[in-house]
Every structure is written in structure tokens, then in C-alpha cells.
Homo-oligomer: A and B are copies of this chain.
């Protein structure tokens, strides 16, 4: 940071320069009868409006508009982030030891000053420096696995993350945090859930819906919650930790095989489907409220089981009314090993595609059925169409999300290609991806005007 006021232009920059403050200083902003105190944050150049971004003591960033009447006072010196990170040689006694490893995504991104778009840039070290609260909870190391927007991640990247996570766990960390782009976080969470089992400590995926240098970022809230889970949660599973509602009250820890990004932009985009989250997390109160008892318990003596490897030759095919059998033939002819159908309702595809599916199965391609409804369970016995697909050899996907069924099939096909064995494994509940009993609560309540 050569510029002491990165991102500030115009009136906002003028008033900050006048007050002699730099990014990182603790400042007081007085505007009429309102007073704000906090750390001056860097600003992105997207918005030319004169806004000063301050990190408040509750850990949250706000943008304050500069008016004629705004005064600024410096009340503390620039806090260099580096001393905040305890070097590995200076461990504090009785503090859990957590690692934050970044894979890219918005939580580790900042605005690209040239294009105005958001690009991955911050390392988890930078990020930890921006969220010093995490050091109240644990000693923290950071690592960069890679820096890739999550829409570009492929099964080979899951394998790298699995391998790195195994290393972290074997090094004896009390919890592993993986920062990840939100777009495909649920795919990676499912992949880790199948590949890393009997976990001694939690593996936490966390991201943010707004980049960490934006005033409205959810990065700090989510990261503190993730550190709390990694350091203290009684469950050692692969979980996604993200905002639970739009306010700043709690985050949720979702089981990695039962969660999905359900909104393009809301902070509470991640929600459990056909399941209830493991816990609510209150990051400021440092409190974890468990919502269930059926989890793998944290136990550092537990022997981690790693079964890494994913078959990329698996396709996810969503039904649409003009779909033809050509698309099934295409995948068979291209040598794919598995096809996940995202059918309608209880698990249907048009009858006109049955013969192409039968051919696929006969040629050794594993075909499974899921539903584009997302909620509920497949039942291919009720209607004649479903029965025809069953008879053609399609394996019903229970209450698995299409995305999870896709990851599971990719994982199974890297272990075995024997159809009977694939079928057996696919219908076995390996990581909680099959919820045998749905209570009425797990379907959300829609607004109907009451």
C-alpha cells in the first residue's frame, strides 16, 4: 500500500487527507449529531460517490456519506496487520490451532481497479488481518491452495483440496477452514464429504457474497463464524458456514451434502435442502447452538479415512420439454461413465427417451435419477413412466440433490465401474446425503401474504 488512501477520490479523499489519516487508522467521523468510530478501510473505485468506509467495533463495515458538515478525527495510529498474525513459533497456550486455506472466490477477492470488476486477490493472510477478531478464538495459520473463481473448478481441483486438507489434518490442526467461491461451494463441500471421512476435526467451507473490501461485505461475519466452528464445534464433519439470515445475528453450519446456493445475491443464499442445519453460529457472542445430535463427534484420535479421486466423465442432464434422446446418445458415444438425470416430479423423463437410456445402461453407463423439484424424494414406482425407467436400469437418487448425486457418482466411478457395486454404493448413505426421514420443518415457509 504505497497510497495511504487506496480507492478514495474526490471529496472523500480531500477530507481524509485534511485529517491526516491513512487506511488502517482508527478514526471518528462526526456528521451532524451522529458519530461513527472505527478503522478506516480501503475503498473500491466503482462508485464515485463521496463515501468513507469504516469498520465498526462490531466487526461490520459501513459506508458513510461525506457532506459539507462532516468532520473527521484521527483517534489511533495505523495498525499494521502483520503483527496481528501470531507467528507459528509464538503459540498461545490453550488456544485451538486452526488453518485458513484459500481456494479463491469473493471472500478472497477485491475490486480490480482497472476493469471495475471483482477479481480474486487477497490471500487468507490479508483477510485474517482484516478480521482481527478471529485471533480471539484461535491461533491461525494461513495457506493458499490456489486462487480460482469457483465456477472454473473441476473434479481435479477437488482432488487437490482433499490432498491439502489431509495434510492439514495430519499436521494436527484443530480445524481446517477453506475459503471458497460461493458459486460452486456446495459441489466442493459434497466432494470433500465423500473423500474425507471419519474426520477427527471439522472441515469448514466459507465464502462471502460480497467482496471483503466492500462496505456491505459478509466476509468478516462468515469468517469469524467459520473460525468458531473450526476451533470449537463438537461436530467434525465437512460443513458450509454462511449467513443464516439477512441480519447479523447468526450463521448456519450446513452438512456439506445437504446444502445448496439458493439465491444469486442474498447473504443467506446457502440453505439446507431436505435436511436441518447442524448448528446456528453466533459469531459475536462466540456461541454455537446445536440443532441436532446425529453428527460425527470431534475426536483428534479418530483415524481419518481418505478416498480421493473423482471421475470427470459424469454428466448432469436436466430435463426440458423438447429434450431428445440425441443428448443421451451423445454422452454415451463420448465415452461417459455416468449420467445424472435431473428429471421432473418424483423422477420422470419423457417416455420417448427410455430406449436411449436402456442403451446407455446396456453399454455400461451408470444412469441415476434426481428431481428438479430439489425438495422431496424420488419415487419411481408410482407412475408407469417411472417404472419404465427403473426397468431400463436407472438408479433412483432418493432425496439427494442433483448436484450431490452428480458428485457422488463421480466419486463412486473413480472407485469402481462394476454396475452392481456402483448401484450398491450409490444407494448407501455414505456421508449423510440420504436423509431417510423428512420432518415437516424442512420445507421452507413461503410468503403468502399473511
- Which chain A residues have a beta carbon within 8 Å of chain B's beta carbons? 112, 115, 117-119, 149-155, 158, 182-184, 187, 244-246, 250, 252, 261-266, 268-269, 271-272, 276-277, 280, 289, 291, 312-323, 326-327, 330, 334, 342-352, 371-379, 381-387, 402-403, 406, 410, 440-449
Contact = CB atoms under 8 A, between A and B. Distances in A.
A438 to B, nearest CB: 10
Given A264-B373, A266-B375, A315-B323, 9 more contacts: A112-B384, A151-B319, A153-B321, A158-B321, A265-B377, A277-B449, A291-B448, A318-B342, A444-B445
17 contacts: A149-B351, A151-B345, A187-B320, A250-B448, A263-B375, A264-B379, A265-B377, A272-B446, A276-B447, A277-B448, A289-B449, A313-B322, A315-B322, A315-B327, A317-B318, A318-B318, A320-B406
A321 B184 contact: yes
A338 B371 CA distance: 24
Contacts of A346: 264-265
Contacts of A445: 444-445, 447
Given A345-B183, A447-B441, A152 B385 contact: yes
B441 A444 contact: no
Nearest to A261: B373
B384 A350 contact: no
Contacts of A261: 344-345, 372-373
A312 B51 CA distance: 51
Contact of A344 (B150, B351, B379): B150
A5 B289 CA distance: 55
A244 B446 CA distance: 9
Given A246-B440, A261-B345, A345-B261, A151 B320 contact: no
Count the copies: 2
A394 B312 CA distance: 26
Contacts of A250: 448
B150 A376 contact: no
A151 B343 contact: yes
Contacts of A375: 262-264, 266, 269
B321 A318 contact: no
A348 B382 contact: no
B322 A410 contact: yes
Contacts of A440: 246
Nearest to A181: B345
A330 B444 CA distance: 38
B443 A383 contact: no
The 5 A-B residue pairs whose C-beta atoms are closest, nearest first, are: A264-B376, A183-B344, A444-B444, A291-B449, A183-B345
B264 A345 contact: yes
A129 to B, nearest CB: 24
Given A291-B449, A445-B444, A115 B315 contact: no
A193 to B, nearest CB: 15
A102 to B, nearest CB: 17
Given A262-B374, A345-B182, A403-B320, A152 B383 contact: no
A283 to B, nearest CB: 15
Contact of A264 (B246, B347, B387): B347
Contacts of A183: 344-345, 348
A442 B448 contact: no
Given A264-B347, A378-B264, A383 B449 contact: no
A385 to B, nearest CB: 6
B449 A280 contact: yes
A258 to B, nearest CB: 12
